[in-house]
Amino acid sequence: MYYFNPIKIKTILRIIKKITLVLTCILSIGFANAAKIAIVIDDIGNNLSDNQLLTLDENLTYAILPHTPYSFIFSKKAAELQRDILIHLPMQATTQNILLGPGALTQGMSKRQYQKTLIAAIEDIPYAIGINNHMGSLLTRLDKPMRWTMELLQQHNMFFLDSKTTVYSKVESIADQYGVNALHRNIFLDNVKKPNVMDIQFKRLINIAQEYGSAIAIAHPYPETYEFLRDNLPLLSSMGIELVPLSQLLPSSKMFNDRIIDNVADDFVKTTATKNNNDSE
Ligand SMILES: [Zn+2]
């Protein structure tokens, strides 16, 4: 007959306890260092169907075109969902400027005109914590307009996500001079709306995040993008990737989160004229 030795059992239990502790530490360190990605959905505001992207129960960031038919409704909805909101600011491009839409910033504007237009966009989307450029392949490479932009962003405690529509962009260097937080997107997810191409881009995004700790993608409110994100975002956690609001990739994220909560109580009905915009920049 076999008798349990109480001393042996105690030793075994102690060892199990130690192993559990070590495993917990390893897992918690792993989680704390999880690679982070932020996905910004651009071009929200022109179509009611943009709402589809707002129905995903994922921490996406929404970039809303000012003065568009659904800009206020969708920014309010995104704020209620406690998502990060950006003003998707139309800025002059080198071509196809017919697609800029209302409230665009252009090269020919005086400083007064320029800043007045920018303030009108900020007032139109009061929940926004930052901006990113819609198009802008010309304007973001110009010194003066970028200085006028940063001057206002500094005053409003907002940041700039550079959509990087030109390799000559001066957004980050000028933001730095004004003490304005700036980031840039790493990939466009859906410039080609095919699942296999989006899959390649998504893998690139994950690779960048795993290598550098974080990565930023820009996507658009296309049905194909909705389906792709719906199917693929739930897989991220099993890969050790965390989907975060864009503001979490900023050095001083807390004050931006505070700002979202402060503004949620605002309420008014928007009555801005309709204008179509299909630009994918
Ligand atoms: Zn855009």
pLDDT tens readout for residues 39-78: 999 999 999 999 999 999 999 999 999 999 999 999 999 9
Same domain assignment for residues 69 and 191: yes
Range of the domain at 244: 35-263
In the predicted model, what is the mean pLDDT of residues 92-110?
Answer: 94
In a domain, 275, yes or no: no
The CA 277 to ligand 1 mean position distance, Å, reads: 9
The CA 138 to ligand 1 mean position distance, Å, reads: 14
Question: How far apart are the C-alpha atoms of 71 and 90, rounded to whole Å?
Answer: 14
The structure tokens listed for 109 are: 């504007």
The rounded Cα 166 to chain-centroid distance in angstroms is 19
Same domain assignment for residues 1 and 61: no
AA identity, residue 198: M
The CA 39 to ligand 1 mean position distance, Å, reads: 14
In the predicted model, what is the mean pLDDT of residues 105-118?
Answer: 98
pTM: 0.80
* % of the chain exceeding 70 in pLDDT: 78
**pLDDT tens figures, 126-151:** 999 999 999 999 999 999 999 999 99
Same domain assignment for residues 102 and 2: no
AA identity, residue 279: D
The CA 123 to ligand 1 mean position distance, Å, reads: 19
Which of residues 27 and 143 earns the better pLDDT score?
A: 143
**Hunting for tokens 């600011």 — which residue is that?**
89
> What is the dihedral angle through the alpha carbons of 81, 247, 224, 80, rounded to the nearest 10 degrees?
10
Who surrounds ion ligand 1 at CB < 5 A?
42-43, 134
pLDDT band at 35 (very low <50, low <70, confident <90, very high): very high
The CA 26 to ligand 1 mean position distance, Å, reads: 42
Whether 65 contacts 45, CB under 8 Å:
yes
User: Is pLDDT above 70 for 269?
Assistant: no
The CA 261 to ligand 1 mean position distance, Å, reads: 26
Question: How far apart are the C-alpha atoms of 137 and 165, rounded to whole Å?
Answer: 5
The CA 133 to ligand 1 mean position distance, Å, reads: 7
In a domain, 274, yes or no: no
In the predicted model, what is the mean pLDDT of residues 220-238?
Answer: 97
Same domain assignment for residues 210 and 226: yes
Question: How far apart are the C-alpha atoms of 53 and 50, rounded to whole Å?
Answer: 6
Same domain assignment for residues 122 and 200: yes
6 strand-pairing partners: none
Range of lowest pLDDT (24-28, 40-44, 59-63, 217-221): 24-28
**Hunting for tokens 């075109």 — which residue is that?**
65
- Check residue 6 and give its pLDDT: 63
Q: Specify the DSSP class assigned to residue 157.
A: T
The CA 165 to ligand 1 mean position distance, Å, reads: 10
- Among the listed residues 80, 75, 76, 93, the one whose alpha carbon sits nearest the alpha carbon of residue 131: 75
Same domain assignment for residues 101 and 236: yes
Question: How far apart are the C-alpha atoms of 199 and 190, rounded to whole Å?
Answer: 9
The CA 193 to ligand 1 mean position distance, Å, reads: 15
pLDDT band at 173 (very low <50, low <70, confident <90, very high): very high
The CA 151 to ligand 1 mean position distance, Å, reads: 23
Whether 42 contacts 216, CB under 8 Å:
no
In a domain, 112, yes or no: yes
Same domain assignment for residues 26 and 50: no
The CA 228 to ligand 1 mean position distance, Å, reads: 19
* % of the chain exceeding 90 in pLDDT: 76
The CA 93 to ligand 1 mean position distance, Å, reads: 11
User: Is pLDDT above 60 for 272?
Assistant: no
Report the domain count for the chain: 2
The CA 188 to ligand 1 mean position distance, Å, reads: 11
In a domain, 272, yes or no: no
In a domain, 271, yes or no: no
- Among the listed residues 267, 275, 271, 273, the one whose alpha carbon sits nearest the alpha carbon of residue 126: 267
- C-alpha distance from residue 180 to each of 66, 211, 218, 276 (Å): 21, 26, 21, 31
- Among the listed residues 167, 154, 163, the one whose alpha carbon sits nearest the alpha carbon of residue 183: 163
Same domain assignment for residues 16 and 108: no
Same domain assignment for residues 130 and 27: no
The CA 163 to ligand 1 mean position distance, Å, reads: 9
CATH number of residue 93's parent domain: 3.20.20.370
Question: How far apart are the C-alpha atoms of 267 and 213, rounded to whole Å?
Answer: 38
183 strand-pairing partners: 161
Per the prediction, the chain carries an average pLDDT of 86
Which of residues 266 and 208 earns the better pLDDT score?
A: 208
Question: How far apart are the C-alpha atoms of 47 and 221, rounded to whole Å?
Answer: 9
The rounded Cα 144 to chain-centroid distance in angstroms is 26
User: Is pLDDT above 50 for 271?
Assistant: no
Whether 183 contacts 7, CB under 8 Å:
no
- Check residue 264 and give its pLDDT: 34
Same domain assignment for residues 116 and 188: yes
The structure tokens listed for 11 are: 């030793």
AA identity, residue 234: P
Same domain assignment for residues 22 and 50: no
DSSP SS3 for 260: helix
- Check residue 208 and give its pLDDT: 96
The CA 27 to ligand 1 mean position distance, Å, reads: 39
In a domain, 279, yes or no: no
The CA 29 to ligand 1 mean position distance, Å, reads: 38
In the predicted model, what is the mean pLDDT of residues 15-25?
Answer: 52
The CA 42 to ligand 1 mean position distance, Å, reads: 5
